[in-house]
Structure 1
Amino acid sequence: MIIERIVTNIEQLNTKEIEKRHVEKVLLESAHLVKRIQRVKTDHGRELGIRLQEPRDLVAGDVLYMDEKNMIVIDVLLDDLLVISPRNMQEMGMIAHQLGNRHLPAQFEADDMLIQYDYLIEQLLEEVDIPFKREKRKVKKAFRHIGHSHE
């Protein structure tokens, strides 16, 4: 089966719609969410080809296939993250500046900044006394690097 478009996202469906279907999952590393063309396997062993026509990243919960009885949904494996919780704007600005200088992508959930684990950033956070914790967590979107050069 070749998937060329996303049907919907599971968050857009009501519980009744989900419960009446058998759900298969495609487990991806967050880095693979940016791939528009890839071969994957569901947790039930079914092989699929993904060749998205529209230029978009996959997101956790995307429904690749759905009929009256079945549904195939994207799920994401746990990432090794640093969850940074600055106490004020000064700390947020300082760590954002440091991460920006290193071109490290970040995501935000509530008041937390999420980055993929990096031992140098962990050391920096300890040195400047900004609260953080290392955590295995699922992210909905890929950490996307933004191209930039210093000229």
Structure 2
Amino acid sequence: MIRAETIRDRHEAFEAADTITLDETQRHRRRMAMVSDNGIAFLLDLSGARLLREGDGVVLDDGRVVKVVAKPEPLYAVRGQNAAHLLTLAWHLGNRHQAAQILSDHILIRREPVIREMLQGLRAIVEEVDAPFDPEGGAYGHHSHGDEARSLTAAHSHHG
């Protein structure tokens, strides 16, 4: 079976032989048999578990690269009344250990009615959306983001 032991970062240039469309849970892997969108079967065999990001390339041992596509999932887009309110909402979500993708004007989270009710009680605007989900890696994760998203840890460390 074809093996894949290396991931090309999404910011590197590469030519993709195919794509593989996976939701966020399916993209968090270390070792698993996979099949690309057009039928290339391979064994993902990484040294450690990691979250494959939209645009990353899975390098097959025959030299081909399969580009990762994030499958849209049912999510909530959470918006605040203003930037400070959005940060407060982000704090409440983090306090409840919710996986979250932080964007400049909203937060994406998995749909969960109890959390929606809490957010609406805090005057958040909560909209159901279907979108790719690329959550923050957490304080000890090895995920980095571009200008569109920032970790809350970085936002809180610059208040002095």
Give the TM-score taking structure 1 as reference length. Answer: 0.74
Residue deviations 1:6-56, cap 9 Å, x none? 1342x432xxx64xx6x4111212112221111111111221110113664
Residue deviations 1:77-115, cap 9 Å, x none? 111111111123442343233323321121112221111
Distance 1:142 1:55 in 2: 15
2:3 is matched with: 2
1:120 equivalent to 2:121? Answer no
Contact 1:7 1:66 in 2 (8 A): no
SS of 2:39 mapped into structure 1: coil
Aligned length: 138
Contact 2:86 2:106 in 1 (8 A): no
Q: Note the C-alpha offset of 1:142.
A: 5.0
Contact 2:78 2:124 in 1 (8 A): yes
Distance 1:97 1:136 in 2: 23
More helix by share: 1
Q: 1:79 to 1:145 in 2, by over 3 A?
A: farther
Q: 1:41 to 1:143 in 2, by over 3 A?
A: farther
Q: Which moved more, 1:24-33 or 1:50-59?
A: 50-59
1:49 equivalent to 2:50? Answer no
Q: Note the C-alpha offset of 1:138.
A: 0.9
Q: Which amino acid aligns with 1:48?
A: F
1:99 equivalent to 2:93? Answer yes
Q: Note the C-alpha offset of 1:146.
A: 7.2
Distance 2:84 2:9 in 1: 40
1:26 is matched with: 20
Instruction: Please give the root-mean-square deviation of Cα atoms over the aligned residues, in Å.
Output: 2.8
Distance 1:94 1:7 in 2: 36
Contact 2:101 2:135 in 1 (8 A): no
Greater gyration radius: 1
1:36 equivalent to 2:25? Answer no
Contact 1:79 1:137 in 2 (8 A): yes
Q: Any gaps of 5 or more consecutive residues in structure 2? A: 141-160
